Each structure stands twice: as structure tokens, then as C-alpha cells.
Structure 1
């Protein structure tokens, strides 16, 4: 199957033709979207002066959208980095720390994307806010219905991640220090309980990765 057919039919890019799920995290620095098709990436690069792309899905050799996105980034002269995150699991400390490193090393403006632009992209946008002086509440607002995020489902563990930082924030502990020294991934996972109907919706209807 060609990359285009795989992207449109298997990876559901047909649904992303009318729905870009675009967002501005920080104008001139960080933008967010669902997985862009080549001409969508080109339009965004031209309009916003993009210089880098961070793929939050990670490298997927059998995914047509992945192949098309890499080729488009190369053609446009954009730096392209992979930093896979989870949408329905407790965020991994090492992956978030590597994401922060990419934020600081890649040329800006940067586009971050996952598949739908709802969950992993919201998490990554929230982390950007926290390392640039934002609060846990501001970070959590990047996970919203507006972008298709469902807090009651298993994807709500990402909301719980930002909520877990809030008490440390109140004590004056910087986010990166909390992430390195206090964040307990296992405890977050053990303590989170999604609502069954919402979980069924995201897992079997929306088919979130």
C-alpha cells in the first residue's frame, strides 16, 4: 500500500483533512496540531516560519503519515525529531526530560504533533508552559475539550499528572526539580481511575493511540 493510501485510510488522515486541531501555545515559538499532511505542514511553515517539528508519536515505519511527514519536513528544510509520549499512561520521566531538552535545542518556531493533537500534544504543550514560567493550572488547560481531550477517560491521567505537580508548585518547587526528584510515576498510575464509558469512547470509538 502506498504511503498516501495508508495515511488516508489506515491512519485516518481523511478525518484530518477538514479538522486541523491547530493551536498557538506561544506565538513565534511553539505551535500544536494533529498529524499534518504534507501540504498542511508546508502551509504552516510558510505562515508561521516553522523551523522544527517534534513528532510525539515516535518513528512508525509502517505508517504512511509518518513517511509523508518526514519527507515533507526534509523538503522544507525543517529539523525533525521524534519524542514518543503516551496518551493513556502515566508520563515517563525520561521522555519528558528529553522533550524539554528538544525544546531548548531545536530551532524555533517548533510544531508539536501527535495523531489527533488532543492528548500527547496537550501534555507536551503543558510542559512547555511549565518550563516557561506557567502554572500547573495553565498547563492543564492545554488538555481541553476544544482540542478533543477527554479527561474522564484513560487520557485523564495526563490531567492527573499536572494536578500531581500542583502541591509542589505551592511549596515553590520548580517543575523540573519536581520531575527529577519527586514525581512518582507508579503512584500516579495506581491512583488514577477513569470512567468506564469515557474510556470505551476513547479506546474503541475515537481509537486513541
Structure 2
């Protein structure tokens, strides 16, 4: 569907679509906003009112949209418009929550955190899985926190269900932690690009049926 934000009717239609079909109404109930560090925050996809309030409150300079740019998304059109009005840089990075990342995706995350202006606010849809992945990588690459100490992929308070298919990232990172125990000098990016066998890691992960059903069909996570 194509949306036109330049007319009152077009804006109304887009607003209803974003709230109902893109599930933005759930963020009125569960915003899932958390501070990661003195310069970084994470959340579910904010409403435009929430965006204005938190940008002003925390002096946000960059919003990192982990759903990626999408001209067919009413929500994304509103987000792009709102960021322009607030003078905030919108960076769109499309990542997957249910697949093993290749080395290129890990490198992309590192490059993002090296190039953006802070403070940064990162969000996905629910603020549980993709936001958890990038929060983990932010702490590791930007702050030097060991992967096993990042603690951003948790059921409480973030809502990440590691036994669902979204737990592939936990399994992936656990492989790196295990490798580094035998090779203390190992770095995540080098391991991801040159050592990790993504196919083997993917096949060795077993998701729980009930956990995946809840995550995919009840919570309707992307």
C-alpha cells in the first residue's frame, strides 16, 4: 500500500494503518524503553509522541531503526518525517532476528557504532530481539564489554525468548564465547568473518516448539 502524508485524509489513513496493522498501538502499553549506557537507549518502535518526548528528554542525536527503510510502511514514513522535524539523524539497518548473522552483518554493526553521532536510540518492533542484538554489539564494539557480560538478550525486562527461533543469536554468540575460551586472543569480528561456520551453527540450534509459537504467533514478533 502507498501512503501520502501530504493530505489530511492520507495522514489519517496512514496513522490507522501504522497503529493497527503495524502494531504501533502495543507500544502505548509496552514501550520497552531502557538505558544501555550514558549514551545509548533501546526500545520497541515508539509512537511519534513518545519519540518527541524521549528525544528532547535525553538529547538523542541518532535513531537507529533496526527494521530497515521501507517506503511502503506507514510507520516508517512517519518516523522519517518526525526525525527530520526534530533534527535527528535516522539510520536504517535491516537485520533479522531468526537467522545466524554472517560476518558482513557483524562488520556492518561495528561500522555503524563507529560512525554515528551519540546519544543513540535503537529500536525494532517489540524491542526484544533485534534491539537486543544491536545492544549487545554496541556494548561489545563501542564499550569493550565481553560478549558474555553484555546481558542484553534477556526475557526480563526486554522480552527476548531465547528458546524460540529468536534464540539463534544466543546460540551463535555462545559459539564465539566457547571458541574464545580456547583462543583468548580471538575477536568477534575476525571470528565471524573467517572462522564461524554459519551453516553448522544454524543446523545445531534447536528451537522449542511452544516458545516459537508464542514468539511468532501470539506476540507476532518479526
Partner of 2:135: 125
Partner of 2:211: 198
Normalising by the residue count of structure 2, what TM-score does the alignment of the two structures yield? Answer: 0.89
Quote the Cα distance in structure 1 between the aligned partners of 2:87 and 2:100: 34
**Is 1:49 equivalent to 2:62 in the alignment?**
no
Please point out which of 145, 152, 162 is paired with 2:173. 162
Counterpart of 2:46 in 1: which secondary structure?
A: coil
Alpha-carbon distance, 1:184 to partner: 2.2
CA contact (8 A) 2:106 2:189 kept: no
Normalising by the residue count of structure 1, what TM-score does the alignment of the two structures yield? Answer: 0.94
Partner of 1:20: 31
Alpha-carbon distance, 1:103 to partner: 0.9
Partner of 2:196: 183
What is the alpha-carbon root mean square deviation over aligned residues?
Answer: 1.3
How many pairs are equivalent? 207
Counterpart of 1:32 in 2: which secondary structure?
A: strand
Runs of 4+ in 1 over 4 A off after TM superposition: none
**Is 1:110 equivalent to 2:120 in the alignment?**
yes
Quote the Cα distance in structure 2 between the aligned partners of 1:130 and 1:168: 16
Partner of 1:83: 93
Quote the Cα distance in structure 1 between the aligned partners of 2:148 and 2:169: 12
Quote the Cα distance in structure 2 between the aligned partners of 1:197 and 1:86: 21
**Is 1:65 equivalent to 2:65 in the alignment?**
no
Alpha-carbon distance, 1:40 to partner: 1.0
CA contact (8 A) 2:32 2:127 kept: yes
CA contact (8 A) 1:52 1:111 kept: yes
Quote the Cα distance in structure 2 between the aligned partners of 1:86 and 1:49: 28
Counterpart of 1:108 in 2: which secondary structure?
A: coil
